[in-house]
Amino acid sequence: MLGPIRGIGTPQVSKPILYGSATGSKRFIERKNFTFPVYLPATSFPKVFNSPFIPTTFIISPEGNIVAGQEGMARYDTKEVREFLQGLVQ
């Protein structure tokens, strides 16, 4: 996993459906001793985020637009990904 990106950090979003509920997701996060921030939605996820693939990754710009997506596994610890993320905040 990438370390913090200046201006972005390393936010993660957990889709509660994976664990049945937001409470289930929080318990999973605590049980795994994750130390990164995890944000859970206050309402249902928009349909654009529905995917049958686990994992599914969306990169969202500071303006709130989806600028990239990946269904399935991918390598994010590359120079290209770091430069792409850094470019979002410049």
Write out pLDDT tens, residues 31-57.
888 877 767 777 777 888 888 888 888
| Mean pLDDT, residues 8-34 taken together | 67
Measured CA to CA, the distance from residue 10 to residue 47 in angstroms comes to 24
Question: Which stretches of 1-90 are assigned E, i.e. beta strand?
Answer: 12-13, 38-39, 56-60, 66-71
Q: Going by C-beta distance under 8 Å and a sequence separation of 6 or more, which residues neighbour residue 26?
A: 40
pLDDT tens for 63-86 read 888 899 999 888 888 889 888 988
Element spanning 45, H or E? none
Measured CA to CA, the distance from residue 78 to residue 9 in angstroms comes to 16
